[in-house]
Amino acid sequence: MKGFKGGIYKRFLKRAMDFILSLIAIIVLSPILLIVAILVRVKLGSPVLFKQERPGLNENIFMMYKFRTMSDERDENGELLHDSVRLTKLGRLLRSTSLDELPELFNIIKGDMSIIGPRPLLVQYLPLYSKHQKRRHEVRPGLSGLAQVSGRNAISWENKFNLDVNYVNNVSFINDWKIIFSTIKKVFVREGINSETAATMEPFKGSKKERLEL
């Protein structure tokens, strides 16, 4: 019965809940969306939105939207400076409060994403995943997920992917709402925003076990 209910929720009810909740969130948070957009435009210039291709359900590529948090500062060779230099004070505030993620609500409306699921990562990581890690793409990527409420950027890639697959194996209405409430708590506490050694998260280079076998 538990598996049946989980299957019904995953196949039919989860998408309906995503659409309704994200639509309500966009309406309620529209003043905040407008204020953040104006601040980004004034402090960082145009474009206000950061757009990047990300792999979604079944590794299908979609365009993800976020508020811009970095400047376009470059070195004498025209190369972009390191993230830690380009990440502005406003950008740090937006990331620490997760306000930069709000435009992803429109991705949820479109059906590219879900409220809860594994975070959509970079397209160039796709060839680096093990068979086990690839299972994170069996569901829509999420605005938040089990890995985010369990440490976000402060935990290792290996742990993050294990949590992603754990979520895929246990999708349910109850689990999603537990993660939603945990996410709200994390946002207010501002936990796990950055890794210990970088302004954001170190690039994924493939799992250690996979590299040893090559």
Per residue in 43-93, pLDDT (tens digit) is: 988 899 999 999 999 999 999 999 999 877 776 776 766 767 778 889 889
For residue 103, is the peptide bond before it cis, meaning its omega torsion is within 30 degrees of 0?
A: no
The pTM (predicted TM-score) of the whole model is 0.85
pLDDT value of position 174: 94
Residues 119/64, Cβ–Cβ less than 8 Å: no
Q: For residues 71-98, b (16+ Cβ closer than 10 Å) or e, as one string?
A: beeeeeeeeeeeeeebbbebbeebbeeb
| Ranges of the chain whose pLDDT falls below 70 | 1-6, 75, 78, 80-81, 83, 152-153, 190-201, 208-214
Cα–Cα distance list, 33 to 48, 101, 128, 136, 161 (Å): 11, 10, 35, 29, 31
**Nearest C-alpha neighbor of 147 from the set 182, 177, 112, 122:** 182
pLDDT value of position 211: 46
